[in-house]
């Protein structure tokens, strides 16, 4: 009977597929499958193009770093797939599913993570979480 009710301490997290991965339908489908396989509730979903202001606000903490302009350009280069997800320990689980920030670290330390499988560089690392 208890399985009909959601767990008590759901955490919300924003999960985003970055434009270079969002333009490849099999990657999007695979990530959506993993979201469901990992028992996340999808609270909101949208496919949308971020404005320059959205991207700058999202990565404000990195302003001035060498990769900042490249990152903002990437994030505004095409539509993103954005999910608001809920799950017990959802923030930690989504970060585990993404893998380490740097694609080559991800390949080495978390070979089945999204960033290992779909990352193309340290900036084009497939997914974001917050």
Ligand X SMILES: Nc1ncnc2c1ncn2[C@@H]1O[C@H](COP(=O)(O)OP(=O)(O)OP(=O)(O)O)[C@@H](O)[C@H]1O
Minimum CB distance to ligand X smaller for 6 or for 130? 130
Task: Answer yes or no: are the C-beta atoms of 86 and 41 closer than 8 Å.
Answer: yes
By rule CB under 6 A, what count of residues binds ligand X? 9
DSSP state letters, 64-91: TSTTHHHHHHHHTSS-EEEEEEEEETHH
- What is the signed CA dihedral for 52, 53, 57, 63, rounded to 10 degrees? 60
Residue 67 labeled ligand binder = yes
Q: How many residues does the chain have?
A: 130
Using rule CB under 6 A, residue 71 touches ligand X: yes
Minimum CB distance to ligand X smaller for 88 or for 105? 105
Task: Answer yes or no: are the C-beta atoms of 21 and 77 closer than 8 Å.
Answer: no
In the bound complex, what is the minimum distance in angstroms from residue 27's beta carbon to ligand X?
16
> How many Cβ atoms sit within 10 Å of the Cβ of residue 17?
24
Using rule CB under 6 A, residue 67 touches ligand X: yes
Contact map string, positions 87 to 106, toward ligand X, x by CB under 6 A: --------------x-----
Residue 128 is among the residues annotated as catalytic for this protein:
yes
Tell me the binding residues for ATP: 18, 67, 95, 101, 115, 125
Residues with a catalytic annotation lie at: 128
Kindly list the residues in this chain that would bind ligand X in the complex (CB under 6 A): 62, 67, 71, 101, 122-123, 125, 128-129
């Amino acid at each position: 009977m208890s399985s009909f009710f959601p767990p008590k301490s759901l955490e919300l997290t924003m999960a985003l597929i970055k434009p270079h991965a969002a333009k490849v339908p099999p990657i999007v489908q695979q990530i959506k499958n993993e979201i469901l396989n990992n028992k996340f509730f999808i609270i909101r979903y949208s496919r949308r193009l971020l404005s320059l202001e959205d991207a700058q606000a999202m990565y404000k903490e990195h302003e001035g770093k060498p990769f900042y302009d490249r990152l903002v350009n990437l994030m505004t280069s095409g539509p993103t797939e954005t999910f608001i997800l809920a799950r017990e320990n959802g923030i930690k689980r989504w970060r585990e599913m993404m893998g380490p920030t740097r694609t080559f670290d991800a390949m080495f330390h978390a070979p089945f993570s999204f960033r290992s499988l779909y990352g193309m560089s340290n900036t084009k690392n497939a997914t974001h979480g917050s």
